Structure 1
Amino acid sequence: MSARIRIHCGERLSIEHVEALYGEMESALASEADVELDAGQVHYCDTAGLQLLVSLRREMQKTSHDIHWLETSEVLQQTCGYLGLNESLGLSRPE
């Protein structure tokens, strides 16, 4: 198993938090490790936050790494479903 870096998305995956998350994700990319995302506490997300996650996953896949979801909130799952991002983010569809 390769090394993994855990990133907590917090309660708001939105434009006002993208810069801080970007820094964490940039460090994860530089470390060449897989990323574990904990999004279980996300109560709000917008397209800027989701765009960051899609970008992270695409960049990681270029180096044969990927993101692994520890938890995803219902809000995140629903929003990604509405926007058609489940496949892009490697999310399974909610039951």
Structure 2
Amino acid sequence: MTQSEHENGTHEDAVQLPAELTIAQSGEFYQKFETLIEQGKNITLDAGVVTRIDTAFIQLLFQVQRTLAETSHGLQWVNTSETIRRSVELLGMSEQLNLAEAG
């Protein structure tokens, strides 16, 4: 277990994603991600409680990943829900969003 990992499997500095990730939440998370991107490091997402995600939010995640990649950083995942895995996989974006190897 790493120093920044809790015993329950969550990551201290992970962004906790809510149950629903839709276009309605995109603006709020765009602001949050923009601030984190400016810090110049990987962004860790805890998606364990996600029960719904739409294409607009997946597009936001893809843009965040692309922006991070420009500085040799990326998205990291902890506690990914089946919903998020299935939705991203259906769009063929697991690899682009670093979900292929996430747990």
* TM-score of the aligned structures, taking structure 1 as reference length: 0.88
Distance 1:28 1:71 in 2: 20
Identity %: 31
Q: Looking at CA atoms only, which structure, 1 or 2, has the larger radius of gyration?
A: 2
Q: Structure 2: 5+ residue runs without aligned partners?
A: 1-11
Determine whether 1:18 maps to 2:26. Answer: yes
**Amino acid aligned to 1:78:** R
CA distances 1:10-40 after superposition (whole Å, capped 9, x unpaired): 1111101011111110001111121111111
| Structure number having the greater strand percentage | 1
| Structure number having the greater helix percentage | 1
The number of aligned residues is 91
Computed over aligned residues only, the root mean square deviation of the Cα atoms, in angstroms, reads 1.7
Contact 1:10 1:39 (C-alpha < 8 Å) held by counterparts: yes
Determine whether 1:68 maps to 2:76. Answer: yes
Q: Structure 1: 5+ residue runs without aligned partners?
A: none
Give, in angstroms, the shift of residue 93 of structure 1: 6.7
4+ aligned runs moved over 3 Å, structure 1: none
* TM-score of the aligned structures, taking structure 2 as reference length: 0.82
Matches within 5 A, 1:1-95: 5-92=13-100
Contact 1:7 1:24 (C-alpha < 8 Å) held by counterparts: no
